Structure 1
Amino acid sequence: MPDNEPASGDDRADSTGRQALRADCGNCFGLCCVALTLTRSADFAVNKDAGKPCRNLQDDFRCGIHTRLRTEGFPGCTVYDCFGAGQKVSQETYGGKDWRRAPETAQQMFQVFPVVRQLHELLWYLTEAAGLAPARSLRGEIRRTLEATEELTRLDAGAFAGLDVAAHRDEVAALLARTSALVRATAPGRKKRNHRGADLIGARLKGADLRGADLRGAFLIAADLGGADLRLADLIGADFRDAELSGADLTGALFLTQAQLNAARGNGATRLPASLGRPAHWEK
């Protein structure tokens, strides 16, 4: 993870086939530290324009305050995840030629990176979807979409400018929604709750039974989900900033990402999917 606090077990073998979708900062040219805009806020201590290197970026493309990001006022960096797009763009799209040695590539590279990052995020979800048994009737369609998305990430650098990534995201989102419905239908209990896009900021959901709930895009900022049962809940795009997950059960939760966990608070009793790690800043 780029400048994220390391999650325990992050170097484990990935049985889901998503290892290439994990950030490898050692093979990236610090793209997230240059290409993106930073806005001074609780997440970032400074303003920084897109295309301008962060003041903490070193000559070797590493972060000079990586171990102190939270205390130095950059918690937003610890929750960012490029899903492996950084090394894809650095080593494959641009053949290992960095923007410092080849400044003529810089502007284009910084525009390509966010596009590939979006595609890699879709690959993360699609790879998970392909392995969900209740959605086996969609497996062929999922795999074709997965392959098509992977092909898009391998376009020549100049071709990304004409790519309608938003339209592709919409197509993938519809397929993932169908996948989610099939999987969530297997959750036990009463009719599954629909909280899609709901404003649950600060909600008191401690110990709630949210098995199979649709929480796609829900705002769960600072919500208390301590001890909640989120098995088979669809969490794609849910905002978990400062949400309390201590003791919550997230095993089998759908489309959860490491970035979402890094944005939340939890402890050693929080149960996680095998493919994700426990953030270092969580309580033991």
Structure 2
Amino acid sequence: MRADCANCFGLCCVALTLTASSDFAIDKDAGTPCPHLADDFRCGIHARLRPEGFSGCTVYDCFGAGQKVSQETYGGRDWRSARDTAGQMFQVFPVMRQLHELLWYLTEALTLPAAEPLYAELREALAVTEHLTALPAGDLADLDVSAHRDEVAALLLRAGARERAAIPRRDRRSRRGADLIGARLRGADLRGAELRGAYLIAADLRGADLRRAELIGADFRDADLSDADLTGALFLTQAQLNAARGNAATRLPDFLTRPPHWEPSRSGSG
């Protein structure tokens, strides 16, 4: 469930729409290759994406859907050499990406001790999702992935609630989908907080305690996580970290990587 660009046909560089903004330097329609996509399906400016105005590309994560579609669904036939597959392939890729994201969350949920009473349901949901990823291309293109995602989301919500309930906290208000853009949360005790889908864009979370906080779908673009503690945070992804700012003192779960653009240290900064 990790991206392997060497075995992908640059699908995220073609299938997705880009809108000129602070995240992307250009407008690009879905199905149109990015002008920086090389003949070998590599990015021609990969080492310069941020200074070239493509920071959005550095935070995108397909959860391994790219190589799955390229090498398994289409058996290694790329959209350039088999152009009759191109349109369908670009339709299948976003569907596979959603399925792989669900696999990521379900796999994590099966490691949560408090969610043990739900393990049988979680395993079944995982098996169903894995089965869907193996469907033929035509079936994937027609799949109602939103309906499946809603079912899994409800199960994940129950699993997260059980895990968060084990954390003693005074404030148990739900911040699901909350507008916390630019919020001043420096040093905040957010242990076990429900921040599912919260907008934390440019929020000051320096030194915040986010252990066991539920972060599925939370928007961390330009949020400052310097010196924050995210160990054990629930449903945190690499893409969320890549979109944020942090430093060497930010504590992360072992399975995630400190983004290279984070600062070495900002402890004690004002």
The TM-score range, normalised by the shorter chain, is over 0.9
Q: Which residue of 2 aligns with 1:188?
A: 168
Match among 106, 111, 115 for residue 95 of structure 2: 115
For residues 112-191 of structure 1, the aligned pairs below 5 Å read: 112-191=92-171
Q: In structure 1, how many angstroms separate the alpha carbons of the residues matched to 2:171 and 2:205? A: 20
Match among 250, 260, 263 for residue 230 of structure 2: 250
Match among 54, 60, 74 for residue 74 of structure 1: 54
Q: Which residue of 2 aligns with 1:59?
A: 39
For residues 1-284 of structure 1, the aligned pairs below 5 Å read: 21-284=1-264
Residue identity in the other structure for 1:244: D
Q: Count residues with an aligned counterpart.
A: 264
Residue identity in the other structure for 2:64: G
TM-score, scaled relative to structure 1: 0.92
Q: Deviations over 1:119-163 (max 9, x none)?
A: 000000000001111100000100010010011011000112321
For the residue of structure 1 that corresponds to 2:130, the secondary structure is helix
Residue 189 (structure 1) shift: 2.7
Alpha-carbon contact 1:192-1:211 (below 8 Å) kept: no
Q: In structure 2, how many angstroms separate the alpha carbons of the residues matched to 1:247 and 1:270? A: 4
Residue 181 (structure 1) shift: 0.6
Residue identity in the other structure for 2:108: E
Q: In structure 2, how many angstroms separate the alpha carbons of the residues matched to 1:184 and 1:210? A: 11
Residue identity in the other structure for 1:127: T
Q: Which residue of 2 aligns with 1:10?
A: none
Q: In structure 2, how many angstroms separate the alpha carbons of the residues matched to 1:140 and 1:200? A: 35
Q: Which residue of 2 aligns with 1:3?
A: none
Residue identity in the other structure for 1:118: Q
Residue 66 (structure 1) shift: 0.3
Flag structure 2 segments of 5+ consecutive residues without an equivalent.
265-270
Q: Deviations over 1:212-254 (max 9, x none)?
A: 0000000000000000000000000000000000000000000
Q: In structure 2, how many angstroms separate the alpha carbons of the residues matched to 1:62 and 1:239? A: 28
Residue 116 (structure 1) shift: 0.3
Residue identity in the other structure for 1:196: R
Flag structure 1 segments of 5+ consecutive residues without an equivalent.
1-20
Sequence identity of aligned pairs in percent?
75
Q: Which residue of 1 aligns with 2:267?
A: none
Q: In structure 2, how many angstroms separate the alpha carbons of the residues matched to 1:101 and 1:234? A: 44
Q: In structure 2, how many angstroms separate the alpha carbons of the residues matched to 1:49 and 1:161? A: 19
Residue identity in the other structure for 1:61: F
TM-score, scaled relative to structure 2: 0.97
Q: In structure 2, how many angstroms separate the alpha carbons of the residues matched to 1:189 and 1:43? A: 36
Higher relative contact order (CA 8 A, sep 6+): 1
Residue identity in the other structure for 2:143: L
Alpha-carbon contact 1:29-1:98 (below 8 Å) kept: yes
Residue 193 (structure 1) shift: 3.2
Q: In structure 1, how many angstroms separate the alpha carbons of the residues matched to 2:27 and 2:229? A: 37
For the residue of structure 1 that corresponds to 2:67, the secondary structure is helix
Alpha-carbon contact 1:193-1:212 (below 8 Å) kept: no
